[in-house]
């Protein structure tokens, strides 16, 4: 029982006991007073009437007439004149009076009034004795009315006291509820402060809670800052701030091999000419400043197309990775023009002959990374042969692209014919026990053809607004599989699906339909897209948690140093992108970054997993970082090892 209810109960019991005691004493006192007054009246009436009867000198008819006259003008229950031997000479009885008093009340407060008794003596001879009992119904009526008045007064008093108690308790309840919400927010990994109440005791409690919340938030912010610093040290070029070569190559490799990546895009190589000569002519400081400006110009150019990755491969070479780029020429010409403007602007004439060239190639999912880099190097060499700020393109691809209508019809036909199935990859813990199975969706776009991974059709599914329907099919297949064997499974939800108004109600219906299997469903949303749709992500988390399902981020790494956003989202787990963990065993900076990230995320009560782990040495390093689980070629279950 809540504290407020206990206070209300205590107040109610106190008022009830006070009322019962006061009311009982009041009614008993009134009853005793009326009984005493009636007894005295009976005695006085008996004495007075006995003297009147004595004046009749024993004449029985005269005494009867006197009794009749007295009985008519008085209010009596009975008048009896008894003989000295106890017999009845004269008697007058009155029937009960109708006065509106309930019989139960009269029985409960029985007055038991003593009747009046007086001897009747005429001319020195005892005629008998007179018994007089007054009518008590008037007394009961007064008691009844008094009780009603008392109840009314106590009811009004109770209402007034209740209103006053409500106001006083509200001063306690409001800050208490705020403190409870604050404590609940902490359990949900959210840091909120509340205003201090005027009640001194509660003010001290609230002040202490706010201080604790501020300290926890400051601790997590400090830890997040350390994680971001370690991330930059591990993944970024210290001079320009763009990705270093290992991180960039990991990102490229991940895009080429990801099950749910993109079908293709553009890779641009940018070379600043004669970097060694610049160092000799201008000095290290001026050359570094020029390289920083060049890196910013390349980032500004890449920002125009949306998703991108910019890296510095060596001293003079930069690379730009553009997923789903529709054109090679446009970004290549743009970055060349920006660098031309940067290197030839006023104040840089003394750089003397410095220039840049751009080579661009198209890449597609599954392409060999060595062949792709060789083609990019050849394009860059051809651009250098043409001269300063030249652009050279290699726009070959893996086939003729179909139109949107064709893609839509193929995808819809595959979904309608139920040519969709999940492939399963284990996620294991340190003991190599399987925690769940990752289940990317594959579609058989043409009857009899090989099922294709999401990288082949997902970009066109996004363009044709079919991602929500595809994600619902994947969730339904996973829930059916969980219902069969009870093994948890994870499926991907596209950030584009979150913006589809049909997703949430249909997903809720699916979870209701498979309520027993829902706790085994894990929903994964891409980090970059999820942070752009934070409100929809919170709505998804709330709905999933109501059914026992879990929600987390996949391909994470760039935004995990933002604990405020992670806390606000209410997520359950984080999956680190392969680019964060690849080559971990041979890079101390990366090990420190991952270990610090895991500690911070564990402090937020989030499970942390690593995806796409291919090297056993990297897996061992991840276990040393206290990672909760891994996926990828290195994630071999214990039963498979035993076999």
Q: From CA 162, how far away is CA 15, in angstroms rounded?
A: 10
Structure confidence by residue, pLDDT tens digits, 387-400: 888 999 987 654 43
352 has a pLDDT exceeding 70: no
569 is written with which tokens? 């989202």
Average pLDDT, the chain: 84
How does residue 403 score in pLDDT terms, banded at 50, 70 and 90? low
CB 318 within 8 A of CB 244: no
pLDDT at position 610 is 94
* Nearest alpha-carbon partner for 63 in 85, 79, 87, 74: 79
Q: What is the mean pLDDT of residues 568-593?
A: 88
Q: Which of 145-149, 158-162, 544-548 has the highest mean pLDDT?
A: 544-548
401 has a pLDDT exceeding 60: no
* Nearest alpha-carbon partner for 572 in 390, 436, 439: 436
pTM of the model: 0.68
CA 184 to chain CA centroid, nearest Å? 9
**Alpha-carbon distances of 490 from 272, 478, 480, rounded to whole Å:** 45, 7, 13
CB 563 within 8 A of CB 542: no
pLDDT at position 327 is 83
98 has a pLDDT exceeding 70: no
H/E segment holding residue 272: strand 264-272
286-290, 458-462, 520-524, 601-605, range with the lowest pLDDT = 458-462
Strand partners, 434: 428
Q: Which of 190-199, 211-220, 583-592 has the highest mean pLDDT?
A: 583-592
166-175, 328-337, 339-348, 483-492, range with the lowest pLDDT = 339-348
How does residue 43 score in pLDDT terms, banded at 50, 70 and 90? confident
62 has a pLDDT exceeding 60: yes
Better pLDDT: 623 or 50: 623
* Nearest alpha-carbon partner for 10 in 168, 201, 208, 192: 168
CB 176 within 8 A of CB 4: yes
558 has a pLDDT exceeding 80: no
Q: From CA 394, how far away is CA 193, in angstroms rounded?
A: 57
pLDDT at position 349 is 46
* Nearest alpha-carbon partner for 189 in 627, 559, 545, 601: 601
How does residue 481 score in pLDDT terms, banded at 50, 70 and 90? very high
Is residue 285 classed exposed, middle or buried when 0-12, 13-18 and 19+ CB atoms within 10 A define those classes? exposed
How does residue 637 score in pLDDT terms, banded at 50, 70 and 90? confident
User: Angle between the 60-73 and 3-54 helix axes, to the nearest 10 degrees?
Assistant: 150
Residue 270 has phi, psi (to 5 degrees) of: -120, 130
CA 175 to chain CA centroid, nearest Å? 21
Q: What is the mean pLDDT of residues 334-359?
A: 75
Domains in the chain, start-ordered, CATH in brackets? 3-159 (3.30.450), 243-394 (3.30.70.270), 404-642 (3.20.20.450)
How does residue 60 score in pLDDT terms, banded at 50, 70 and 90? confident
Q: From CA 550, how far away is CA 553, in angstroms rounded?
A: 11
Q: Kindly state the percentage of the chain with pLDDT values over 90.
A: 28
Structure confidence by residue, pLDDT tens digits, 226-270: 888 888 888 899 999 999 999 999 889 888 887 776 778 899 999
pLDDT at position 423 is 93
Better pLDDT: 501 or 261: 501
Please, what is the end-to-end C-alpha distance for the chain in angstroms?
A: 56
3-state secondary structure of 461: helix
Strand partners, 118: 130
Q: Kindly state the percentage of the chain with pLDDT values over 70.
A: 94
């Amino acid at each position: 029982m809540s504290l407020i209810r206990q206070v209300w109960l205590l107040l109610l019991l106190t008022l009830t006991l006070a009322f019962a005691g006061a009311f009982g004493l009041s009614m008993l006192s009134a009853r005793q007073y009326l009984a005493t007054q009636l007894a005295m009246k009976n005695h006085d009436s008996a004495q007075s009437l006995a003297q009147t009867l004595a004046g009749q000198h024993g004449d029985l008819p005269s005494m009867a007439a006197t009794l009749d006259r007295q009985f008519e003008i008085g209010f009596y229950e009975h008048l009896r004149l008894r003989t000295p031997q106890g017999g009845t000479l004269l008697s007058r009885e009155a029937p009960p009076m109708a006065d509106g008093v309930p019989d139960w009340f009269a029985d409960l407060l029985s007055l038991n009034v003593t009747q009046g008794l007086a001897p009747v003596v005429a001319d020195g001879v005892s005629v008998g004795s007179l018994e007089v009992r007054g009518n008590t119904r008037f007394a009961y009526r007064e008691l009844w009315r008094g009780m009603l008045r008392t109840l009314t007064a106590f009811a009004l008093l109770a209402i007034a006291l209740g209103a006053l108690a409500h106001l006083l308790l509200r001063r306690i309840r409001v800050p208490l509820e705020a403190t409870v919400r604050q404590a609940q927010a902490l359990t949900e990994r959210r840091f909120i402060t509340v205003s201090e109440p005027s009640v001194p005791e509660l003010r001290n409690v609230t002040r202490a809670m706010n201080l604790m919340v501020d300290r926890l938030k400051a601790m997590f912010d400090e830890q997040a800052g350390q994680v971001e610093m370690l991330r930059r040290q591990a993944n970024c070029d210290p001079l320009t701030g763009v990705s270093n070569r290992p991180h960039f190559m990991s990102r490229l490799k991940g895009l080429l091999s990801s099950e749910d990546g993109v079908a293709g895009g553009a890779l641009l190589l940018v070379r600043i000419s004669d970097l060694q000569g610049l160092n000799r002519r201008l000095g290290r400081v001026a050359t570094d400043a020029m390289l920083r400006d060049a890196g910013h110009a390349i980032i500004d150019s890449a920002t125009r197309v949306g998703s991108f990755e910019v890296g510095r491969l060596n001293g003079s070479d930069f690379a730009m990775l553009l997923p789903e780029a529709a054109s090679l020429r446009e970004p290549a010409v743009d970055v060349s023009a920006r660098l031309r403007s940067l290197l030839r602007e006023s104040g840089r004439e003394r750089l003397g002959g410095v220039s840049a060239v751009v080579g661009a190639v198209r890449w597609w999912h599954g392409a060999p990374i060595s062949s792709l880099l060789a083609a990019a190097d050849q394009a860059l060499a051809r651009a250098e042969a043409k001269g300063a700020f030249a652009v050279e393109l290699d726009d070959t691809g893996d086939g003729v692209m179909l139109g949107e209508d064709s893609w839509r019809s193929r995808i819809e036909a595959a979904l309608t014919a139920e040519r969709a199935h999940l492939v399963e990859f284990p996620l294991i813990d340190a003991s190599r026990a399987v925690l769940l199975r990752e289940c990317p969706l594959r579609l058989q776009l043409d009857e009899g053809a090989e099922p294709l991974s999401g990288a082949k059709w997902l970009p066109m599914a996004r363009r044709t607004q079919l991602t929500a329907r595809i994600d619902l099919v994947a969730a339904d297949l996973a829930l059916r599989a969980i219902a069969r064997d009870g093994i948890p499974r994870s499926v991907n939800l596209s950030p584009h699906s979150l913006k589809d108004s049909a997703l949430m109600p249909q997903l809720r219906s699916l979870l209701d339909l498979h309520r027993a299997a829902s706790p085994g469903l894990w929903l994964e949303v891409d980090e970059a897209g999820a942070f752009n749709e934070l409100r929809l992500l919170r709505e998804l988390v709330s709905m999933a948690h109501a059914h026992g399902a879990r929600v987390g981020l996949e391909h994470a790494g760039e935004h995990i140093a933002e604990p405020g956003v992670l806390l606000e989202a209410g997520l359950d787990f984080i999956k680190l992108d392969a680019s964060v963990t690849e080559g971990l065993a041979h890079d101390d900076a990366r090990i420190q970054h991952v270990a610090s990230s895991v500690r911070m995320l564990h402090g937020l009560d989030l499970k942390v997993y690593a995806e796409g782990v291919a090297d056993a040495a990297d897996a061992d390093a991840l276990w040393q970082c206290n990672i909760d689980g891994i996926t990828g070629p290195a994630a071999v279950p214990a039963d498979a090892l035993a076999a």
